[in-house]
Chain A
Amino acid sequence: MTNSLQAATAETGAKEPIVVVDGVTKRFPGVVANDDVSLSIYPGEVQALLGENGAGKSTLIAMLSGMLQPDAGGMRVRGEATAISSPRRALELGIGTVYQHPTLVPTLTVLENLMLGAPWHQRMNRAATRRRLAEISQMLGISLPEDATLGDLSLGQQQQVEIVKALWRGEQVLILDEATAMLTPKGVEDLGQVIGRLRDAGIAILFITHKLNEAVRFGDRVTVLKLGRKVGELTPDQLAALGEDQAITQIVDLMFGTASSEGADELAGRDKSRLVEGPVILSVDGLAAAAGPGEPTVTGVAFQVRAGEVFGIAGVDGNGQKQLAEALAGQRRIAAGSLSLKGEPISGLSVVQRQRAGLRYVTDDRLGEGTVGNFQVGLNLLLKRIGDEPFWRNGTIRRREVERHARTLIDRHDVRTPGPQTPIGRLSGGNIQKALLARELDNAPIAVIYNKPTYGLDANNIQFARRAIREQADQGVATVLISTDLDEILELSDRIGVMLQGRMVGIVDNDRDAQRRVGELMIGVGAAA
């Protein structure tokens, strides 16, 4: 098998793609994860697949490695149309994958981990395994302590073992999913060298990342995914011609869209004087949030939001937006700084007290923390008010009141549900989000924090949610809109703050020039305004 693969590659030469993804579409309930995506993977070339979280990278990898099947479109491997029907089939086709999360057994040694893939009825052959490990190590230019317990190795070395494993059977295509996520700068550098050697050995590499500088640094070819669609590709020739800075500018354009300059125009015509005159509702100063292991540390965040104002918070995902939102909502301890609502300090208040004071948080994690999937819709709509009058009296539930309340909110926000007693987990993502909005916007909100309010929704529900946000703001609600979708931020915000590595690196007015400036701030090239 291995030899025939290598022979085939040698014959076809470097110009023919080894894997072609042809117009692949994959849908999940309420989300089109991949929409007619096509790309070609060439031997001896590193293709960087760039996109934010939710752009559809993981779905594409899952299809290439046989974990998911496309709904439409297909794959060609070495010129032959073929279905990658299972992970085993992917390996047979010579496609090895290194996943973002470790797949090795930390308590076993390096060698033992590498022997795990053998059929169960065979004796484990240490000598042969050592030989193969030496072969691949030499190709990669690394040396691994083969009898060391895996868990004792550095994350970089553990990843090298993953790479060795992915190439074990002579795989000619290597998929690296967010390979740098857990590495130290030194580890990233080592990985770069390994990738270079693999390319020189004629391996086709698909390097998935959400970091722009890595894509440019490692990729010979850069493909950009956005919201499930391929929005652009820079070929090796183009990349060479452009030079690094120009390439980055062009990719920023691709990633953060050129579509919505109308949004800015629309806003230019809006009456902003009202906003300036409105009283400051939410005031954040020098805020630092407690961070768990592996989380970005939020420090020194300061901004103010006036009544009726929409303050957008842009940024590449994972730069502390969620931690900031949780600190504001009271779910995360505030380590330093002040937070006040209508001039009253609230950083000492609990989640419930802040909720009662009118501060609301629409979480981005609808199913994980926003709702209890097997509770009925009616109870989920009261999840933050358990025990309150009139739905409970003396601690005892009054089902009629709960149902009446549910029906009111279901009508007001057009939640499509069979009834108030349906478990909320049965609803579609869009309707769960409507229910969440209904819950948070009920009962006199003063300030609302939206975290990625349209993430994963279809076009209709996106419009619905954005309209709801806009309407609330027009009624005087101070609005914080956290989103990784720059178009959305530009469409709805009055001012835009940008988060980068836990800091708010700049706040800009949403004027004609905002898109470029925010885009630059997001990737750390723009100066703070």
Chain B
Amino acid sequence: MTADAGTNDPTPTSAGLSGQGTGMPEWLVRIVLALVPILLALIVGAAILLLLGRDPISFYVNIVRRGLISWIGLQETITRCAPLILLGASLIVAFRAGLWNLGIDGQFLLAAVITAALSAWMIQSAPAWIVLPVGMIAGFLVGAVWSLIPALLKAYQGVNEIVTTLMMSFLGVSLANVLIKIPFNDPNTTVPQTMTLVTDDRLPRLFGTTINIGVVIAVVVILVVHWVMTRTAFGLRLQTVGANPKAALHAGLSVPLLTVVTFGLSAGLAGLAGSVEILGVWGNVRADWNPGYGLAIIPLVFLARFNGIAVIGFTFFFAMLSIGGETASRRADLPNYFVLVLVALILIFMALTEWLSHRRALARRA
């Protein structure tokens, strides 16, 4: 059957964890529910740092200073938000329709490689204002095509999409590697990588900063996705399929068609994320490059309860954490991965809060 993503989560029309009886408006309850796990994670993280003999205050201060307060760091943080937000939009589409598209890393990387190769080749004969949009469209299409097999299997054979999308993700990452090393390899470099799109030809930057317009594109896209999901008939159809596929069938919706379309949109947006990252930041793809944003963004999307606006906020926080965390870890003489400990703690407390408030809701109803 369809993943539980659709059934357990609150949709905008639901009042899953409403503040009824507590006197708090629902949006406030949601914000509190989202912030509590983060606070608890920071507290426990501090305890771990103390145990390791590090100063937690200076660790956190370093994260904020490097990721948020310093001008260079802030620009990096904002730049990092672009692919994360687009991946968030991708997951919102899938999760709201009750589909687990867990193949976004493969879709992302494959789209990135093909965009890189295509734009570096096209730029030899076409101006940037043509190359850049074409690159993004190509990225979207590559992602969408890469989801076709899981989508069709799910829609017409009921094959569990968790397994198929993960498998296609592995294949996508491997194929991307092959593409970089053989057909798209730049012969002029020693490290295998695609031909480079020079900085001047990449996405334009904002007002003399290092931030490219990718983040603007991302924010616009996720706001549109949010609007489509909450305000349009199309979005309501997707949510009906997600929340109760049998009801969708009963209401005469074409569940298989909607499944394929959902996959196409979701994977397309993941592909777009790859394109924007390449066209905005890197200009090429090296064979060892695979940021693996996908698995990091999934919990954020859940934490945001599939709300596009909230995803922007959480993404910014996460981007700050990972940019600032690199420096903070280095200064505290900890491995880079310590930031992941914090992220993991956030997830654990998030699940706990979720469970507790669910129990409370059940108790209140009984």
State the A residues within 8 Å of B (CB): 330-331, 350-352, 355, 361, 363, 365, 368-376, 379, 383-384, 386-387, 392, 395-397, 421-423, 426
Q: Are A372 and B15 in contact (CB under 8 A)?
A: no
Q: Are B240 and A383 in contact (CB under 8 A)?
A: yes
CB contact between A374 and one of B10, B236, B365 (< 8 Å): that residue: B10
Q: Are A374 and B16 in contact (CB under 8 A)?
A: yes
Extra pairs beyond A386-B236, A386-B251 (16, CB < 8 Å) = A331-B249, A368-B244, A369-B247, A369-B250, A371-B244, A375-B11, A375-B240, A379-B13, A383-B247, A384-B252, A386-B240, A387-B233, A392-B233, A395-B232, A395-B234, A422-B15
Q: Are A351 and B231 in contact (CB under 8 A)?
A: no
B243 is an interface residue with CB less than 8 A from chain A:
yes
Question: In whole Å, how far is B3's beta carbon from the nearest beta carbon of chain A?
Answer: 16
Q: Are B233 and A374 in contact (CB under 8 A)?
A: no
Question: In whole Å, how far is A320's beta carbon from the nearest beta carbon of chain B?
Answer: 19
Q: A379-B13, A383-B240 are in contact. Are A372 and B247 (CB under 8 A)?
A: yes
Q: Are A397 and B236 in contact (CB under 8 A)?
A: yes
Q: Are B251 and A384 in contact (CB under 8 A)?
A: yes
B14 is an interface residue with CB less than 8 A from chain A:
yes
B237 is an interface residue with CB less than 8 A from chain A:
yes
State the B residues within 8 Å of A (CB): 10-11, 13-16, 231-234, 236-237, 239-240, 243-244, 246-247, 249-253, 365
Instruction: Provide a sorted-by-A list of 14 A–B residue pairs whose CB atoms are within 8 angstroms.
Output: A331-B249, A351-B250, A351-B251, A355-B252, A361-B250, A363-B250, A368-B246, A369-B250, A371-B244, A372-B243, A386-B233, A386-B236, A387-B237, A397-B236
Q: Are A369 and B365 in contact (CB under 8 A)?
A: no
Residues of A within 8 A of B253 (CB): 386
The total of interchain contacts (Cβ-Cβ below 8 angstroms) comes to 80
Q: Are A351 and B243 in contact (CB under 8 A)?
A: no
Q: Which residue of A lies closest to B230 (CB)?
A: A397
Measured in the bound complex, the distance between the Cα atoms of B252 and A350 in whole Å is 7
Q: A374-B16, A375-B240, A379-B236 are in contact. Are A397 and B251 (CB under 8 A)?
A: no
CB contact between A365 and one of B232, B239, B246, B365 (< 8 Å): that residue: B246
Q: Which residue of A lies closest to B11 (CB)?
A: A374
Measured in the bound complex, the distance between the Cα atoms of B244 and A373 in whole Å is 8
Q: Are A330 and B231 in contact (CB under 8 A)?
A: no
Report, nearest first, the 10 A-B pairs whose CB atoms are least far apart. A351-B252, A387-B233, A374-B14, A352-B252, A369-B246, A369-B250, A372-B244, A392-B233, A384-B251, A372-B243
Residues of B within 8 A of A379 (CB): 13, 236
Question: In whole Å, how far is B96's beta carbon from the nearest beta carbon of chain A?
Answer: 12
Q: A330-B252, A369-B249 are in contact. Are A374 and B243 (CB under 8 A)?
A: yes
Residues of A within 8 A of B244 (CB): 368-369, 371-373
Q: Are A375 and B250 in contact (CB under 8 A)?
A: no
Measured in the bound complex, the distance between the Cα atoms of B251 and A370 in whole Å is 8
Q: Are B236 and A370 in contact (CB under 8 A)?
A: no
Residues of A within 8 A of B246 (CB): 365, 368-369
Q: Which residue of B lies closest to A418 (CB)?
A: B20
Most chain B beta-carbon neighbours within 10 Å: one of A355, A368, A371, A383: A383
Residues of A within 8 A of B249 (CB): 331, 351, 369
Residues of B within 8 A of A368 (CB): 244, 246-247
Question: In whole Å, how far is B252's beta carbon from the nearest beta carbon of chain A?
Answer: 3
Q: Are A375 and B251 in contact (CB under 8 A)?
A: no
Residues of B within 8 A of A383 (CB): 240, 247, 251
Residues of B within 8 A of A374 (CB): 10-11, 13-14, 16, 243
